[in-house]
A and B are shown apart, each in its own frame.
Chain A
């Protein structure tokens, strides 16, 4: 009897592996990538945005980011704008959620006013850049449905190529194709397809560094818009993890005193 079962298992085992659908494998990879990045608690970093138009004219933004990991929900994050000079002191607080609209507040220093903003639309450009709000939000597993496509060499590594379909009703994309490296689950590249399912943008992430012996973060992210010829590069610096930030540092009241 026992032998029979073992035999049956031995025979069916390879088929069980094959029986995993491309969707299941895609989800499994997404979950593994998410698990790999869990437990960072909080981080702070500086971000420089370099916006380039078709003629090659450049405009820069300087933003400080503070992020707090939230168990079972999207992260909380605060962005403090240092450049351009006319928006210096502006700060934005976001409680990101998987499938619900984010909670978002904006502090406008000129009128000392904290405004709750309607953030249902996440597909709009962030500060005139080629990054949409949804490209910069925290990446939760439930934000997409997944499909594993293939393995492919990417730079010096092997990547999983996965298709992600946004589950958020008001996303600006029909689908995304992402390249995750098989060793550390780092996002190497992503293609974004617009609402007409035409290739809109390509994101390339590079200069990865590992923090606390575990968490990989890119030093550079370049987004190229194929339809309008513009591009935006994010240059990240001064990453710090587990800085001791607390929930009370991410209240709309806090926006009034960040400098």
Chain B
């Protein structure tokens, strides 16, 4: 926390001396759980603040770029959720068809909407959004070579970002708390293991392709039963070493966009194959308005043991309304149905700009018909309403 503050002060005070671009947002988040909690201690509502400043400085006609992005969450209730992270702090150098990046960065791979299988570089920030879209910054060296026949990426990942988990007051957690202070690693290098990854992407006409391979610390821990200092039952994260082969493809055919992500993960303690695939079909200007309606359907399958897999045979259906108005109003409504169990998870996200600099975001999540044998049962009382009001600059 302290080094973060020093760095932030340094950037704020020293960087204006050069041509510095500064932007970001400050947001207040209101979270409400209408149902009574399943586990003792869990909160029913919370108000938190977040701050996400970004800086960048470009020189040498854009061939050199320093960029930084920080994230800070202030939470009075769940002390585990109060956290800061450096999402990005890197130097980019471009020379002809080669790009070098050194420092902390966030990288996204993949094409599907309901699940991101191929995306393995960054650890998920498990204290942030419940959708897993927020990532922790990863220290790395990246080399990118751009060819007519595609783009080649090489990554050397210096160390592992161990995630924090929600505390006892947090909702949407497992019955037992996760004790990250006892985390175990398969590698003797612990969280200092150096990981490597390669990715190749290419597009031909309406089709985008990506092949990737990753070798290093699995971002998804296995959980082992254990005891904390006070003798309470806890879960201890175990991070295995693994190799993951990934393939992703997206193809546009008329108003249809077809998507597929496929992975094979090979580890000593956990080996499986998983896929997510589906389509997005868009109806433009529905009912003679400017509103576009996208319909999404994706299916997720994996051959992992059922009690370990939340996404073993799940169908995702969604409707995306883009109002194309001045305030960029958008609504995404989605449902995830387990085709082998009765469990359903329903979610609506909406956002709208207010004036020039404010943005209002709402999110509703409802879990229904959750079977007692489903790992999702831990969240069955955790329907929530989230409202975020953000000021951008």
Partner of A111, one of B96, B108, B282, B393: B108
B292–A124 contact, CB under 8 A?
yes
B25–A86 contact, CB under 8 A?
yes
A128–B324 contact, CB under 8 A?
yes
- A128 to B203: give the CA distance in the assembly, Å: 29
Is the CB of A12 closer than 8 A to any CB of chain B?
Answer: no
Question: Number of contact residues on A: which range applies?
Answer: 20 to 34
- A248 to B63: give the CA distance in the assembly, Å: 12
Partner of B356, one of A53, A59, A89, A259: A59
Q: In the complex where A111-B108, A128-B325, A257-B99 touch, is A116 in contact with B252 (Cβ < 8 A)?
A: yes
Listed in ascending order, the chain A residues whose CB lies under 8 Å from chain B are: 51, 53, 59-60, 83-89, 101, 103, 111-114, 116, 118, 120-121, 123-125, 127-128, 248, 251-253, 257-259
Q: In the complex where A111-B133, A116-B252, A251-B146 touch, is A86 in contact with B327 (Cβ < 8 A)?
A: no
Chain A's nearest CB lies how many Å from the CB of B50? 13
Residue of A nearest to B254 (CB): A120
Partner of B108, one of A53, A88, A112: A112
Residue of B nearest to A104 (CB): B252
Given contacts A84-B392, A86-B392, A103-B206, 7 further A-B contacts (CB under 8 A): A60-B356, A88-B23, A112-B107, A114-B108, A120-B255, A259-B56, A259-B65
- A252 to B280: give the CA distance in the assembly, Å: 21
Q: Which of B135, B280, B282 has the most A CB atoms < 10 Å from its CB?
A: B282
B97–A59 contact, CB under 8 A?
no
What are the residues of chain B within 8 A of A120 when measuring CB–CB? 252, 254-255
What are the residues of chain B within 8 A of A125 when measuring CB–CB? 290, 324
Is the CB of B94 closer than 8 A to any CB of chain A?
Answer: yes
Partner of A128, one of B67, B106, B326: B326
B146–A253 contact, CB under 8 A?
yes
What are the residues of chain B within 8 A of A88 when measuring CB–CB? 23, 392
B326–A86 contact, CB under 8 A?
no
What are the residues of chain A within 8 A of B356 when measuring CB–CB? 59-60, 83-85
Is the CB of B151 closer than 8 A to any CB of chain A?
Answer: yes
What are the residues of chain A within 8 A of B146 when measuring CB–CB? 248, 251, 253
Chain A's nearest CB lies how many Å from the CB of B232? 37
- A171 to B108: give the CA distance in the assembly, Å: 34
A121–B282 contact, CB under 8 A?
yes
B108–A128 contact, CB under 8 A?
no
Is the CB of B37 closer than 8 A to any CB of chain A?
Answer: no
Chain B's nearest CB lies how many Å from the CB of A81? 11
